[in-house]
Structure 1
Amino acid sequence: MAFIVNDNERQQAVVSEFAWEPSVTAAHVGVTAASIVTLTGHVASFAEKHSSEAAALRVKGVEAVADNIEVHLAFDAQCNDDNIAAAIINRLAWDVSVPPDAVGVYVENGWITLSGSVNRYFQREAAVRTFGGL
């Protein structure tokens, strides 16, 4: 890969990276590049928002990403805080990487906060990954 020397090349490289990322609908994400890459637009899930940021950070020469992408959930995918908390607790219970009762779940206005402690880093990552698709 050639070294990226200007903002236009950096922008085009990020757009090209989206073409190779199946979890991102590139038509919904705008990219501008100056000293940092700014992502705008809307996507259908938080997982797609995260994938967009990760794809942009994979591009050589991108040092920082400002993620201004909005998540527009489908009407039938919207849940109240009780349903979100119950889904996370259920997923944590099924994940053998996360010790039982090690992670607490707090949900307010759709924002999820996990608390507690685990013995290993992979357990922490498994707990965070548990709610990535909600």
Structure 2
Amino acid sequence: MKSDVQLKKEVEQELEWDLSINAAGVGVEVHDRIVTLAGHLSSFAEKLAARRAAQRVEGVKGVVVELDVRVPSHDKRTDEEIAASVRSVLEWTAGLSERAVQVTVESGCVTLSGEVDWGYQMKAAENAVVPLRGVVSVVNQINVRGNASARDIAGEISAALKRHAEDEARHIDVAVSDGTVTLRGKAGSFPERSIICAAAWSAPGVRNVVDQLSIGA
């Protein structure tokens, strides 16, 4: 098992290796394999990239993000400009019309609301907004329609897990209540955890996914 000192060094190296991140703006601390990232970055997309970089390092058990977004002057946009950009990118994304997804912006914080047919559409809306200039954070309040039964949803997810991560599927418990899926158990790594969560989001009728998975062999 890697020591906290070794993990700190490897997380710092991973941050430096990722050219989408200004590693000089990120401080790294590790305690009991839990990584804390602190500092200031220039965009919300960069903040998420820093989190993903830390998660990629083998042996990391969890990541705490205490990073602030400070948009540089050349990237600053008014809330009206940000709202227009968000509306434009959503209109070019299938299933995310103005009628389906509404947008509000306050001090660079984008809030998405409305209703879509599938969970993946809700995530697609969020992912489309994250890299836009001037965005400081994204709050996703989009609801997912659907009346599939808990049994049907659980069955679809279990089948998807076996297709995408068969070994991990045996260690995962799937609970469904009113369209909310709760995942419990162990994933071998953060990438495997992402595969499991993606499989859950792909099932019809899923409105939310609660990730309670731990990382470990």
TM range (shorter): 0.7 to 0.9
Matching residue's letter, 1:9: Q
**Which is strand-richer, 1 or 2?**
2
| Residue of structure 2 in register with 1:128 after alignment | 126
Q: Which runs of 4+ in 1 moved over 3 A?
A: none
Question: In the TM superposition, what is the alpha-carbon distance from 1:66 to its structure 2 partner?
Answer: 1.7
Check conservation: 2:96, 2:125, Cα contact below 8 A.
Answer: no
Superposition map of 1:57-68 within 5 A:
57-68=55-66
| Residue of structure 2 in register with 1:88 after alignment | 86
| Residue of structure 1 in register with 2:13 after alignment | 16
Percent identity, aligned pairs only, is 38
Calculate the TM-score normalised by the size of structure 1.
Answer: 0.86
Calculate the TM-score normalised by the size of structure 2.
Answer: 0.56
| Residue of structure 1 in register with 2:37 after alignment | 39
CA distance in 1, matches of 2:21, 2:72: 16
CA distance in 2, matches of 1:19, 1:60: 16
Determine which structure has more spread, i.e. the larger CA radius of gyration: 2
Unaligned 5+ segments in structure 2 are 133-217
Cα 1:41–1:99 change in 2 (3 A) is: closer
CA distance in 2, matches of 1:43, 1:99: 29
- Counterpart among 54, 78, 89 of residue 76 in structure 2: 78
Question: In the TM superposition, what is the alpha-carbon distance from 1:109 to its structure 2 partner?
Answer: 2.2
CA RMSD of aligned residues (A): 1.6
Unaligned 5+ segments in structure 1 are none
- Counterpart among 92, 114, 117 of residue 116 in structure 1: 114
CA distance in 2, matches of 1:9, 1:117: 45
CA distance in 2, matches of 1:73, 1:99: 27
CA distance in 1, matches of 2:17, 2:123: 25
Matching residue's letter, 1:89: R
